[in-house]
Amino acid sequence: MMLLIRERGLERECTFTAVRSSGPGGQNVNKVATKVELAFHVRNSELLTEEEKLTLSEKLASKINDDGYLKINDSSSRSQATNRENVLLKFYDTVEKALIKPKKRKPTRIPKAVKEKIKVNKIKTAEKKSNRRSYKGDWY
């Protein structure tokens, strides 16, 4: 499934926008639009199945805005091209992680020997505490 997502070419359905980045960089920050924002409309995607759209909508609900766009941005580099590559990698990682199905839990039983050990320890602790209560020292 991992390779399938990257091979589908979801970047064709993505919209890339370059905006001015914040943070360090001096005048360069004010002049050059290096921050890249990626917008991907989950519900309108033609490359995803209905099941995948539903899964993404549920698992990435906090990252999807009211209009149905999954938005991811990157401004780690001073180069727009590098930031575009980074944001695309982030996008694929996010989508792939969301589409991983969790393994079903197999219920296990506690072995008899372990149950017996727990019981013995409980009895020892109870005796220890009851001995403390019944002890009357010289100070009474």
Kindly report each contact of residues 17-21 with a partner whose C-beta sits within 8 Å and lies 24 or more positions away, as own/partner.
Answer: 18/80, 21/75
Top pLDDT among 89 and 34 is at 89
pLDDT tens by residue, 104-137: 999 999 999 999 999 999 999 999 988 887 666 6
Q: Is the pLDDT of residue 45 over 50?
A: yes
pLDDT level of residue 138 (50, 70, 90 thresholds): low
Residue 114's pLDDT is what?
96
Residue 2's pLDDT is what?
47
Question: Which one-letter amino acid corresponds to residue 11?
Answer: E
Please provide the average confidence, as pLDDT, over all residues in the chain: 85
Under CATH, what is the fold of the domain 2-99? Double Stranded RNA Binding Domain (3.30.160)
Angle at 48 between CA 43 and CA 53, to 5 degrees: 45
Beta carbons within 8 Å of 32's beta carbon, 6+ residues apart = 20, 78, 80
As a whole number, mean pLDDT of residues 46-64 equals 89
Using a cut of 0.75, tell me whether the model's pTM lies above it.
no
Q: Is the pLDDT of residue 22 over 70?
A: yes
Q: Is the pLDDT of residue 87 over 90?
A: yes
Q: Is the pLDDT of residue 84 over 80?
A: yes
